[in-house]
Amino acid sequence: MPKIAAFSLLATVLLSAASALAVAPGKGIQVVPDEAHRRVDIKVDGKPFTSYIWPTSLKKPTLYPLITEEGIPVTRGYPLEPRAGERVDHPHHAGLWFNYGNANGFDFWNNSDAIPPDTRSKMGTILHTKVVSATSGADRGELVVESAWITGANEQILNETTRYVFRRRSSVRFIDQAVTLTALDRVVFKDDKEGLLGMRVARWLESPTEKGGAFTDANGNSTKVDAAPTDATGSTPATGVYLTSEDVKGDAAWGTRGKWCALTGHTRSHTVTIAIFDHPENPGYPTYWHARGYGLFAANPLGQSIFDPKKPPFDYTLEKGQSVTFRYRIALYSGATTSPELNRESGAFATEPR
C-alpha cells in the first residue's frame, strides 16, 4: 500500500476511534437534547451536571440544577422542585440565568407567574427559540441556543445567542457562558441592580448572618426575606461566605467590584465553592457583585450608580443592529479554594482563545 494511502487510512481510523470515544455512552461530557420535554441534559461520565431548560412555568431559559463532581446540588430547588425548609421568596430566582431588570423600561429580571395581572405589561419575557447545536466530547461538551427578548408590549427588542461550554478538571466542573445580544431597535439597559448573570443557591450556602428584610425592585414590588434559618438544635444550617478578588468578605461583598467572586459553604460532610469569573472584554468590567446573604449570587456589570451613588448612571446602550457579547466562567469546586488559585483561573479565562 502506498505510504500516503496508508497514512490516510491510519488517520481515518484514529479519527473514528477518537470520535467514538467522545460520544461513547456514559463517558466524557454528554450534551443530550430532549426538545419534546423542553430541555437539554448535560452529564459527566453519565452523572448529572446540569440541564438547559425552558419550561412554560418560567419566563426565561435557565440552567438547573447545578451539581458538583461529588453529586451535591448547589442551586435552590424552589420554584421548580421545592425542598423542605428552603426559602420560597423571589419565585423568579431559578437555577442559573441571564437577564436584566430594565431594558427599554421593561423588567426581564423579576417576571414570573406571581406578577399581578395589572403589572404584567411592565415585564419582559425571554423565549427560547432554537437549539442551534449540541456537541458531546471526551473532554468538553458544547451547546448553542437562541432566544428572543419580548417586551410586555409583545415587541421583540433583542436576539440572543448563547454558547455554553461544559468541562471538568479533576474535581472541578466548569461552565463557560458567552451571551451575544443583538439589538432589533435601540435598547437602553438603564442603570439597575437587577442583573445580569444570576443564580440562586441552596439553603446551606446562604449567609449565617443574613438578617432578612424587604427587598424592593425597580417597579416598587417588595419581597420579604426572613433572617437566616435555624435547625432544631438552634445552630444555623447556613454556612456560605463570599470572597471577592479584592479580598472583600461575607456580606460586605454586595455592591463591590471584582474580577471574580467565590461563595464557599459546607453541608457538614461536604465543602463546596462556587466561583463566577468576569471577563475583561465585558462592558462594565470589573463587574459589581449583586451577592445577597439570602442566596442570590449575581454579577451585574450594567449597574453603576445603583451600587455607588457617587458615580453617574451607566445606561449601557445598543443602537439598532449593534451586538455585544458577555462572557463568564462558572466553576463548581468540590472543596475550598484560595485567592491565588482563583486568581490563576481568572487569568487563564481572560487570556484563553475565544
The answer to whether position 314 is within a domain reads yes
Residue 207 amino acid letter: S
pTM: 0.89
More confident: 74 or 10: 74
Q: Is the pLDDT of residue 136 over 90?
A: yes
Tell me the pLDDT band of 268, cut-offs 50, 70 and 90: confident
Cα-Cα-Cα-Cα dihedral of 130, 140, 259, 274, to 10°? Answer: 90
Mean model confidence pLDDT for the chain: 91
The answer to whether position 3 is within a domain reads no
Q: What is the rounded distance in angstroms from the CA atom of residue 327 to the CA atom of residue 347?
A: 14
The answer to whether position 24 is within a domain reads no
The answer to whether position 36 is within a domain reads no
The answer to whether position 105 is within a domain reads yes
The answer to whether position 310 is within a domain reads yes
Q: What is the rounded distance in angstroms from the CA atom of residue 183 to the CA atom of residue 194?
A: 20
Cα-Cα-Cα-Cα dihedral of 198, 74, 274, 252, to 10°? Answer: 70
Q: Which domain holds residue 176?
A: 41-351
State which H helix or E strand residue 133 sits in: strand 125-135
> What does the pLDDT look like over 148-184, one tens digit per residue?
999 999 999 999 999 999 999 999 999 999 999 999 9
The answer to whether position 27 is within a domain reads no
What total number of domains does the chain contain?
A: 1
Tell me the pLDDT band of 26, cut-offs 50, 70 and 90: confident
- Residue 211 has what pLDDT? 76
Q: What is the rounded distance in angstroms from the CA atom of residue 87 to the CA atom of residue 203?
A: 7
Q: Is the pLDDT of residue 8 over 50?
A: no
Nearest to 96 by CA among 43, 158, 27, 175: 175
The answer to whether position 20 is within a domain reads no
